[in-house]
Every structure is written in structure tokens, then in C-alpha cells.
Amino acid sequence: MRCSGGLGLLVVVLGAMASPGEARAQACCVGASGLTPGWLTTHERALVGAQVRFATAHGTYPARGDFFAPQPGRDARLEPSLFGSLRLLPRAQVSVSVPFAIVRRRAGDLVESRTAFGDVTLVGRWDVFRVGERRWPGIALLAGALVPTGTPTDRATGLLAADATGIGAWEGNAGVSVEETFGHVVLHATALAGVRSSREVFGVEQHLGLRSLFLVGTGWVWDDDASMLLTITHTADGDATLDGSTAAGTGFRATQLAFVVTTPITDTLRLRTSVFTDVPPLGSNRQALGGTTLGLAKTWF
């Protein structure tokens, strides 16, 4: 599994955070949007929300060869999801996201459309230091799980498996987020690693490879908590093992660029939207996706 590009970006941002700045704006955890759209700010007790994500494939990263290979088929995905967060302790909160996928897949003259639930995501967060609390940057520890409520590829129906919406295995993950503000400018970095459970697929024991995620972001946060943020997220899966033997070429890598805008509508209602696209060269063995999201969250103090 190669993820040196994402790790390098993370090191650069962490280095830039070594000197604290004046925290005039609440960073609002906007940089953690690669994990959940529903983090709570320091003065919020709970929130619920809904998000719609539209994505379409615009190319393919093959296991070998050119980054953008000729496209054998095309996917269009509409993914509504519900999410919520609850503060358990002054520094601890938990977030849950429940996705629902509507997929239209085309390969040549063959077209399939399917609708199915995706994998549920649970994420816990403990704020060791909040932004502006000390000379240190804001530091949060993360721990979560992926619940296999979606349909894995081996259980999908149809010739194109358009209803494959999950990995079919439990995942436990842990990581750290670091955030700092310099006036109204925010810098953010998140690193996460995940381990999957094994499962039997067509009579063969399969164990998916380790997952890693590196997210770095920077942007501007206004005093009313409106924000604009540019993020780069690099994800990588190591090769799977089949009956204890490594299945070479089954891992993947992807790098996604996103522009995220969060706008408060009222004191307890905020709108979040983004546009995103996968970018070369750090992609391998998967489709290249691009699209947009639109979400609305209701909060309680």
C-alpha cells in the first residue's frame, strides 16, 4: 500500500501548525468533513441533518498504465443520507451517518439501476485541546466503526452489480485531527487507519487490506461561523488476502479535491455544500469520481 504523497502533505501541514495563532473565529470542525458532515461546535449539544451526494464517474484509474484509462462503463450515484451527533461529555461527542444509494450503471448497451442502503458509519471524537485553548493547536482523538449494512459485491444482483453499496465486513478505525487558526484562516489535518474483519466469499476466507485516510485542508472562517474550505483527501486500501495469501492488485488508491462552503441560516440551522473530484496522479485501481453535495443540519445548544 503506497500513500507517501498523502503522508507528505500531512507532515507539511503539521509543521505549519507548530506556531499558534490568534483564534478569532470558531473553526467549527469544518476540516473533518471527510469523516462526517455533523461535528458539533463547542457550544452545541446535539444535531440532526440530511445530505444528498451526487457523483458520476469521469474516468478510470487502472492498476497499471495511464491514470485516466478509457472508460469501460459509467456510474451515476445519488446518495441521500441522514446523520446526527450527540455530545456525551464536555469534550466527547459521537456522530452517526446512515447512507442510502441510488445507482445507475452503464456498460455498453447494458444499463442497470438499483437502490440499496450503504454501510453505516459511527465516529467518536475526544477534544484533547480545543483551538485557541492553549499554545498548542486543537487536537482531537478519533475512533469509529463501519457497520456492514450495505450490499457487498458478491451478494449484488444483476450483471453489473449496481446494488453493491458496501464492503461486507466490519471495520474499526482510529486517528487524530489537528486544527489551528491564524485570525480567520484555518488549517486542518486528519490521519485515520482502519482494520477490517475477515469474511467468507464463495467458500474462500477473504480479509480486506488496511485502510488509511489523510485529509488536509485550509480555508477562511467568518465570525458568524460561515466558512469556505479547500481540502485534499487521500485514501488507500492495501491488497486483500484470500485464504491467507496476498491477492496482488486488489488494493486501490484515490486522491480527492473538494471545495466546501458552510453557511449559517439561523442560530440553529446551517447549510453545507461542496463540489469534489478525484485527481491524478495518486489514483489506482478504481473509478475517478466527481460531483457535489448539499446538506442541512439542525442544532441544539
Does 148 have pLDDT greater than 80? Answer: yes
CB atoms within 10 A of CB 143: 15
Task: pLDDT band for 111, please (50, 70, 90 cuts).
Answer: confident
Does 22 have pLDDT greater than 60? Answer: no
HEC string of 247-286 equals CCCCCEEEEEEEEEEEEEEECCEEEEEEEEEECCCCCECE
Does 18 have pLDDT greater than 80? Answer: no
**Residues 217 and 188: beta-carbon distance below 8 Å:** yes
Mean pLDDT score, 48-57: 92
- CA proximity to 295, closest of 4, 38, 12, 30: 38
What pLDDT is attached to residue 26?
41
CA distance 62 to 75: 16
Does 6 have pLDDT greater than 50? Answer: no
Does 104 have pLDDT greater than 70? Answer: yes
Mean pLDDT score, 115-143: 90
What pLDDT is attached to residue 64?
55
Task: pLDDT band for 4, please (50, 70, 90 cuts).
Answer: very low
Ranges of beta strands (E only) in the chain are: 46-61, 74-89, 92-107, 110-117, 120-129, 138-147, 171-182, 185-196, 198-201, 204-207, 211-221, 227-237, 241-242, 245-246, 252-266, 269-278, 286-300
Q: Domains of the chain by range and CATH?
A: 4-300 (2.40.160.40)
pTM over 0.85, yes/no: no
What pLDDT is attached to residue 63?
55
Hey, is 74 helix, strand or coil? strand
**Residues 111 and 105: beta-carbon distance below 8 Å:** yes
pLDDT digits (tens, 9 = 90+) for 158-206: 788 888 888 899 999 999 999 998 989 999 999 999 999 998 888 889 8
Does 132 have pLDDT greater than 90? Answer: no
What pLDDT is attached to residue 35?
65
Q: Name every residue whose Cβ is closer than 8 Å to that of residue 256 and which is 6 or more positions away in sequence.
A: 232, 233, 234, 235, 276, 277, 278, 279, 289
pLDDT over 90 for what percent of the chain?
48
Dihedrals phi, psi of 9, to nearest 5 degrees? -60, -40
CA distances from 230 to 131, 145, 250 (A): 19, 26, 30
Does 68 have pLDDT greater than 70? Answer: no
Does 65 have pLDDT greater than 60? Answer: no
* Comparison of pLDDT for 38 and 55, the residue scoring more: 55
CB atoms within 10 A of CB 155: 13
What are the residue ranges of helices labelled H in the chain?
4-16
What pLDDT is attached to residue 113?
86
pLDDT over 70 for what percent of the chain?
84
Q: What cell was used for 262?
A: 458552510
Mean pLDDT of the chain: 82
pLDDT digits (tens, 9 = 90+) for 240-275: 998 889 888 888 889 999 999 999 999 999 999 999
Counting Cβ atoms within 10 Å, is residue 265 exposed (0-12), middle (13-18) or buried (19+)? exposed
What pLDDT is attached to residue 112?
86
What pLDDT is attached to residue 17?
39
Does 300 have pLDDT greater than 80? Answer: yes
